[in-house]
Structure 1
Amino acid sequence: MAEKTRRRLEFGDGGKAGELFGPHNRNLHRIRKLSGVDISSRGSTLTLSADDERQLENVTRLLVQLYELVKKGRELDDTDIDQGWRTVARDESGEVPEAVGSQVFKVSRKRSVQAKSPGQREYLEAIGSADMIFGIGPAGTGKTYLAVAMAVAAMQEKRVKRLVLTRPAVEAGERLGFLPGDMVEKVNPYLRPLYDALHDMLDFATVQEMIQSGRIEVAPLAFMRGRTLNDAFIILDEAQNTTPEQMKMFLTRLGFNSKAVITGDVTQIDLPGRAPSGLVNAANVLEGVEGIRFVRFQEGDVIRHPLVGRIVRAYEQDERKQQET
């Protein structure tokens, strides 16, 4: 059996080294699980050993770059470790700070957000610079969550007066009259992911007060017809389930001093009868139009549980096999 290659790394600042290693060496255990490289610590010194010298080099680069983030004040979490590992394992010149981004957006007293992937960094930059942004990609990439976060930040900073959340109620065919309750109660089940994001950033009582005062509005897409939305941050979620006619109607609701973010996953279209998707159509029609930004997330941008990324990858492989047969 070939002898393992060993390497020692010394991190001089004991306090910062502890932040790099994590509580009870949690970060080191996670890196070991991802890479297969044995890591042992003694004080601020690490000893690495592995059969694969390339993996040893990748882990060394990851640890050194994460340490630079820690010295700049970054509090590492599992997502930083996972995304950093993907970066160095995929690209010999990949830089972890580039992968996870560095700008922190203060959303509220309760929450700050920061890009965790190249796609998220591009998305946040696009929301900051354009009036209309399309975020297209698989589940778990943060499309909806980050859009709500930036909307809340815009309201807190008084850059807009209200937040409008809308989503096509495909399961009810946009015909909500037969459902019990008022309009908000009828559409609430379809807007639950948006509410979840809101409650993660603001206190429950604050959200309820803002809804009652009209500063936060929830409405099914069908209720957007005929309106002009000024001084608003507007989010259309699950946009793959709009028809081209609905999408055109929504996009032309944009008023003065307003911003619209449209999110969706074109692999999860639930329209009946194989009707064409308004999101797919808009991506073809509006590409290159000034003032509109398209951000396309990839599997590597998936930030939820690592299993989600593997599920997405498995489905993509299955789709390719079906196309080849």
Structure 2
Amino acid sequence: MTLDQPTQELVLEFPDNRLLIDLCGPYDSHLTAIESALEVQIVRRGNVLAVMGDEGAQKRAGDVLNALYLRLETGKDVEPADVDRELRMGQSEQGTGSRQGDQLEMAVGNRIEIKTRKKLVEPRTDAQKAYVQSLFDNEMAFGIGPAGTGKTYLAVAVGVSMFISGHVDRIILCRPAVEAGERLGFLPGTQEEKVDPYMQPLYDALNDFLPGKQLAKLKEEKTIEIAPLAFMRGRTLSRAFVVLDEAQNATTMQMKMFLTRLGEGSRMVITGDRTQIDLPRGVASGLWDAERLLKSIPNISFNYFTSKDVVRHPLVAAIIEAYEADTEST
């Protein structure tokens, strides 16, 4: 789609004007995001976009614009998250293929798409991409890093994908029921109602991937379970996709108990943030011990995220970096 490349600008032609409008975004918001991230200027002239700036930045902007246009040509929408993903992802994404049957597809180039009932989910950073790949490739995977990096969200998406494609028979999501620095007191209601506030982030993720009625039916049938970590004791979890969220708040004994629940045909994902331990003073985090003891075991992967992988509001990454810098200085 490149017509010319003088030293001052890179000129790109996009033949379908309707798709070009979607590529530019509402009030050219997608172009503005690319300009801001890459420090280039993009000017529209009819069905042509001219990119001005540093030669390397011009080329990167051209790659992003062409990839987004190709996405539109395949019938998909381009949202701000898609622009963000193209800007974040590495530039060496080539080749096509598939793994694990129809669970995981590689659509545009070598990009991973996770199919759920309600939406396609695509990793937005290289670390997220490697993490999702490891969830399909390994029977047990750890995702360790700060809040907002998609550890739990992507794990639940993969679990739903493997469930609807028949590779597992059920999904089990659990968390340690540990209060985050405040006392919640004696909550009224049934056992499920008492623990629901702790489990809400897992419900939020599931609601993104499954229609409400189907999710309610699957929960009623116990095909999808959301429960505190303590409820896992004594069980053998076969043909299940099991996620332990907030694993930094599991004790060493709880972590050992959970990891040894793994049954035939199951997958386990353990996510946590080592900077947000809410256990009582003097109680060791089981996530630390698991990381130390299990790194050399085959079919167990460890995946790490940093503030650069935060995909929430940009201020979240800045806040995390500020706290990290203060910790290092003290």
Normalised to the residue count of structure 2, the TM-score between the two structures is 0.84
Matched-pair identity in %: 44
Aligned partner of 1:58 in structure 2 is 57
Deviations 1:252-279 (A, max 9, x none): 0111111111111111111111421111
SS at 2:163 equivalent: helix
Distance in 2 (alpha carbons) for counterparts of 1:149 and 1:69: 23
Range with greater deviation from structure 2 (235-244 or 294-303): 294-303
CA contact (8 A) 2:88 2:126 kept: no
Deviations 1:20-57 (A, max 9, x none): 3234322111122334433321112234445xx3xx63
Aligned partner of 2:15 in structure 1 is 13
Distance in 1 (alpha carbons) for counterparts of 2:80 and 2:322: 23
SS at 1:272 equivalent: coil
The letter for the 2-side match of 1:154 is M
SS at 1:104 equivalent: strand
Range with greater deviation from structure 2 (73-82 or 246-255): 73-82
Aligned partner of 2:32 in structure 1 is 29
Range with greater deviation from structure 2 (158-167 or 32-41): 32-41
Counterpart among 235, 245, 259 of residue 237 in structure 1: 245
Listed as ranges, the gaps of 5+ residues in structure 1 are 88-93
CA contact (8 A) 1:39 1:49 kept: yes
Distance in 2 (alpha carbons) for counterparts of 1:38 and 1:162: 50
CA contact (8 A) 1:65 1:96 kept: no
> Given the alignment of the two structures, is residue 39 of structure 1 paired with residue 42 of structure 2, yes or no?
yes
The letter for the 1-side match of 2:275 is T
CA contact (8 A) 2:10 2:62 kept: no
Counterpart among 259, 264, 275 of residue 267 in structure 1: 275
Distance in 1 (alpha carbons) for counterparts of 2:282 and 2:58: 47
Residue pairs, 1:1-325, within 5 angstroms: 6-15=8-17, 16-49=19-52, 53=54, 57-71=56-70, 73=74, 75-86=77-88, 94-95=90-91, 97=93, 102-108=111-117, 110-171=118-179, 178-322=186-330
Range with greater deviation from structure 2 (313-322 or 117-126): 313-322
CA contact (8 A) 2:10 2:59 kept: no
The letter for the 2-side match of 1:77 is E
When the two chains are superposed, the root-mean-square deviation of aligned CA atoms in Å is: 2.7
SS at 2:243 equivalent: strand
The letter for the 1-side match of 2:25 is G
Shift of 1:149: 0.9
Distance in 2 (alpha carbons) for counterparts of 1:200 and 1:231: 23
Normalised to the residue count of structure 1, the TM-score between the two structures is 0.85
CA contact (8 A) 2:145 2:273 kept: yes
* Higher relative helix content: 1
The letter for the 1-side match of 2:78 is L
Distance in 2 (alpha carbons) for counterparts of 1:106 and 1:271: 36
Listed as ranges, the gaps of 5+ residues in structure 2 are 1-6, 95-108
CA contact (8 A) 1:17 1:67 kept: no
- Alignment length (residue pairs): 306
